[in-house]
A and B are shown apart, each in its own frame.
Chain A
Amino acid sequence: QSVLTQPPSASGTPGQRVTISCSGSSSNIGSNTVNWYQQLPGTAPKLLIYVNNQRPSGVPDRFSGSKSGTSASLAISGLQSEDEADYYCAAWDDSLNGWVFGGGTKMTVL
């Protein structure tokens, strides 16, 4: 059971806008920023969004993040086949004194 809660799966058709939710608590998302990681099949995770809504250089602006209270969301607009991957949210937890991850969401492009 992960500390952060994500839906196990999400899907959309090419060009569609899809969102993935990440729910936490006051000790993690409620008091710290959220990062999102993308893991393509068979590869290492890659930083996708940091500090709630910032994109590293090279990440398309189709990806966006937001945070409100103890929840965060990742949105992918103009969904593409290469976006098929697992997506993980993460935040520092002040009570656990460590990083916590969501269980991951498998994105399928129909």
Chain B
Amino acid sequence: EVQVVESGGGLVKPGGSLRLSCAASGFTFSSYSMDWVRQAPGKGLEWVSSISSGSRYMYYADSVKGRFTISRDNAKNSLYLQMNSLRAEDTAVYYCAREVRVKGTRSDAFDIWGQGTMVTVSS
């Protein structure tokens, strides 16, 4: 079964750090770009970060640039998000998503999502 499973969420104080992990299975992880998308309680979806299949390209939302770092280990089929200098506004469910290139196009889409891991930033 094709799936991604997030872990590592929890309660952290403002200014603290947390590392999220995403374990992929059922597909060739090294062939896909991967992303993190978050959703604050009762709010909409917000894209956080993206990493290309070979880690050559990384992109970040302005809201997390300089504080969050995305990385991956293709040998372990795993995606990571290192979150530093956490703020209350970072409180959200963090989803790991597979980004698929649509055949014959230059378009991508998030076709596989995990169940999410909750991050709460509070004193």
A complexed with B: yes
Q: How far is the CB of B91 from chain A (nearest CB, A)?
A: 18
B 7-44 binary contact with A (CB < 8 Å = 1; else 0) = 00000000000000000000000000001010000001
Chain A hits for B109, CB < 8 A: 35, 47, 50-51
A45 within 8 A of partner (CB): yes
Chain B hits for A60, CB < 8 A: none
* Chain B CB within 10 Å, residue with most, of A44, A45, A47, A98: A44
How many chain A residues touch B (CB < 8 A): the figure is: 27
How many chain B residues touch A (CB < 8 A): the figure is: 23
**Shortest Cβ distance from A52 into B: residue:** B107
B1 within 8 A of partner (CB): no
A98 touching B44, Cβ below 8 Å: no
Main secondary structure of the interface of A (DSSP, over half): strand
Chain B hits for A104, CB < 8 A: 44-45
A24 within 8 A of partner (CB): no
Known: A90-B45, A104-B44. 17 other contacts (CB 8 A): A44-B115, A44-B116, A45-B37, A45-B110, A45-B113, A47-B109, A47-B110, A47-B111, A96-B62, A98-B47, A98-B50, A98-B60, A99-B50, A101-B44, A101-B45, A101-B46, A103-B44
Chain B hits for A51, CB < 8 A: 102, 105, 107, 109
